[in-house]
């Protein structure tokens, strides 16, 4: 096959995959039929028929929810873009004001759960900008719409059942449940299942009110993190400085190694000091390539990931917490604050890498670990710094490699 024919065939395949990347998943042909099936599921789980009918009869399909599900910023933005939009001077300043305003409440939460105040404020700030943005989509509408979408039907059906149980228990009222497109609720945006398991009455009024009570929200956040395994007296991680000539294939592997190992590689903290000589399990994350910041993370970083399975989110929580507690800006700022790849572009480069013999997994438009690994192996095979970071220049280089159909030199190293 000629190079031009190969390229045309590949482009046709990529366009087909791209359409699936951005298009909403097909919904049930009959939304009302889907609701009847969900009613039966709810009754089988013990929710009273009166609550089931009252809530689900009033639900309406919301196509905007499906659109937003396809555009999650943790998957479509670069780290610099994501971080700079969230760790802002105004958010840091307000966090410090609220740290003083709610000092006694936050101290009580820390004594009971072990989670320090500045972390609680970081979650609060990221989730709802300290209670100023709860979302305006009725939670039953959002969850039912997503439960009737085949892509993640099982997950959102479970969350809808939990929401119905919250309503039946009196923790919430169906007509007063504003939330995010995904059904997250209140000051700290708990999903209904987390609300059921971990929300607590922090102010002693006999209710678990995550919308109207800051005390309930903070105690609930601390309780959730405690159950996820929060380690008292240990930070989330820290920014580090890598030595000249560092082997970037050691980063972003997900493998935990003793802190002493990273110290032996002459990695320093952000102030240029050697890392602690301690046998602490830690990972090295370089989210924006060789020209951006690097981080050593500890177990509490994994706990934050239990709240939201995004490295960008967890790094941002940790850094916002540090800033609220008084830390300065990153020593090494992300270089890509304005760079953003679309789902289609990521899907395209995944297909290109697969064609060249660098296994990026099934193309899905999400730049996960397999994609970063494939990018790193492409860089290594082409004499580039193998930091696994995709920027516009590398995107163009990979595209040109496909157009030329250069044979793969990847040996699985």
**What DSSP line would sit under 178-239, residue for residue?**
EE-TT--BTTTTB-HHHHHHH---SSSSS---TTT-HHHHHHHHHHHHHHHTPPTT--SEEE
State residue 76's pLDDT score: 58
State residue 110's pLDDT score: 98
Q: How many residues does the chain have?
A: 413
Q: Find the farthest-apart pair of alpha carbons in the chain and give their distance in angstroms, rounded.
A: 74
233 CB burial (10 A radius; 0-12, 13-18, 19+): exposed
Distance of CA 346 to the CA centre of its chain: 17
DSSP state of 46: T
For residue 257, what is the enclosing H or E element?
strand 257-258
Query: What is d(CA 79, CA 76) in angstroms, rounded to the nearest whole number?
Result: 10
CB of 320 closer than 8 Å to CB of 126: yes
Handedness of CA 247, 248, 254, 259 (dihedral sign): positive
- Which segments of the chain have a pLDDT < 50? 1-20, 22-27, 406-413
Instruction: Mark 253-263 as b/e (b = at least 16 C-beta within 10 Å).
Output: beeeeebeebb
277 CB burial (10 A radius; 0-12, 13-18, 19+): exposed
State residue 373's pLDDT score: 92
State residue 405's pLDDT score: 60
Structure token digits, residue 348 = 């395209």
Torsions phi, psi of 243, nearest 5?
A: -75, 160
Listed residue (169, 159, 158, 211) closest to 188, CA to CA: 211
- Name residues whose C-beta falls within 8 Å of residue 138's C-beta, 6 or more positions apart in sequence: 59, 174, 175, 177, 178, 179
Instruction: For tokens 């935990």, name the residue.
Output: 256
pLDDT digits (tens, 9 = 90+) for 305-352: 999 999 999 999 999 999 999 999 999 999 876 777 878 889 999 999
Torsions phi, psi of 141, nearest 5?
A: -65, -45
Handedness of CA 319, 83, 80, 344 (dihedral sign): positive
Handedness of CA 156, 162, 163, 164 (dihedral sign): positive
Instruction: For tokens 């060249």, name the residue.
Output: 356
CB of 76 closer than 8 Å to CB of 340: yes
CA within 13 Å, CB half, 297 = 29
């Amino acid at each position: 096959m000629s190079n031009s024919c190969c390229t045309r065939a590949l482009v046709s395949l990529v366009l087909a995959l791209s359409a699936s990347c951005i298009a909403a998943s097909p919904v049930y042909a009959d939304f009302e039929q889907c609701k009847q099936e969900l009613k039966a599921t709810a009754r089988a789980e013990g929710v009273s028929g009166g609550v089931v009918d009252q809530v689900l009869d009033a639900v309406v399909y919301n196509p905007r929810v499906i659109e937003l599900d396809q555009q999650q910023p943790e998957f479509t933005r670069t780290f610099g873009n994501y971080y700079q939009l969230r760790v802002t001077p105004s958010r840091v300043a307000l966090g410090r004001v609220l740290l003083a305003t709610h000092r006694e409440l936050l101290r009580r939460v820390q004594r009971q759960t072990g989670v320090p105040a500045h972390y609680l404020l970081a979650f609060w700030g990221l989730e709802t900008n300290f209670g100023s943005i709860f979302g305006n989509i009725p939670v039953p509408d959002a969850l039912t719409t997503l439960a009737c979408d085949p892509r993640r039907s099982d997950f959102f059906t479970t969350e809808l059942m939990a929401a119905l149980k919250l309503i039946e228990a009196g923790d919430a009222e169906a007509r007063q449940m504003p939330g995010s497109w995904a059904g997250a609720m209140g000051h700290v945006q708990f999903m209904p299942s987390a609300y059921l398991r971990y929300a607590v009455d922090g102010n002693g009024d006999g209710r678990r009110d995550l919308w109207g009570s800051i005390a309930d929200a903070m105690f609930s956040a601390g309780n959730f993190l405690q159950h996820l395994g929060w380690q008292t007296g240990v930070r989330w991680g820290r920014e580090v400085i890598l030595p000249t000539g560092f082997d970037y294939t050691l980063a972003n592997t997900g493998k935990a190694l003793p802190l002493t190992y990273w110290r032996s590689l002459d990695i320093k903290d952000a102030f240029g000091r050697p890392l602690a000589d301690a046998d602490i399990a830690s990972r090295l994350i370089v989210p924006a390539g060789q020209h951006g910041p690097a981080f050593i993370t500890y177990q509490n970083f994994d706990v934050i990931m239990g709240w939201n399975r995004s490295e960008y989110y967890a790094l941002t929580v940790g850094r916002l917490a540090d800033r609220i507690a008084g830390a300065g800006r990153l020593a090494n700022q992300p270089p890509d604050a304005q760079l953003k790849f679309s789902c289609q572009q990521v899907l395209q480069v995944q297909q290109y890498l697969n064609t060249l013999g660098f296994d990026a997994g099934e193309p899905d438009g999400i730049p996960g670990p397999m994609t970063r690994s494939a990018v790193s192996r492409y860089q290594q095979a082409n004499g580039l710094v193998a930091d696994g970071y995709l920027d516009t220049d590398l995107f163009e280089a990979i595209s040109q490699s496909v157009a030329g159909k250069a044979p793969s030199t990847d040996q699985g190293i």
